[in-house]
Amino acid sequence: MRADKGACRRRLADDQVDLAVEVFRMLADATRIQLLWALTEEELAVNELAARVGKPAPSVSQHLAKLRMARLVRTRREGTQVFYRLENDHVGRLVADAIHNAEHAGPGVPAHHLDDAGLAQLHPGQETTAVDRGAAR
């Protein structure tokens, strides 16, 4: 990211705006948000993703195809399995920022502001990760 704030004053190219709109269109779906969130820490196969988001594998595959066309995820083939991962760090930050912003709308201290002990109280019996904690902002 540029430190020069003057860059934000320029008019964006139409093709960049169109791509940004497409990204937001892809993010305007609960299943796709869940898929991207699941991929923030590791690459996963379709069946693993389906189990994590509680959706049938064919449905997950359709969502992943859309995310791939929008350049939000990429694939890697290993034998007969296809693994998905985020296209780049910006996608992960975009999803994390959206989730963290949503947490601020709820009651209490947002989960991404809590340390491990605070998260353990919110989610007993679950292991917390760096993504759960966010950047400990």
pLDDT band at 131 (very low <50, low <70, confident <90, very high): very low
Whether 130 shows a pLDDT value over 50: the answer reads no
pLDDT at 127 > cutoff 80: no
The residue whose two tokens read 């791509």 is 19
3-state secondary structure of 122: helix
pTM above 0.75, yes or no: no
| Residues contacting residue 51 through CB under 8 Å, at least 6 positions apart | none
Query: What are 76's strand-pairing partners?
Result: 83
Task: Tell me the mean pLDDT in the region 53-66.
Answer: 97
All domains of the chain, ordered by start, with CATH? 13-87 (1.10.10.10), 90-133 (no CATH)
The confidence score (pLDDT) of residue 136 equals 38
Q: Can you tell me which residue has the tokens 């975009």? A: 94
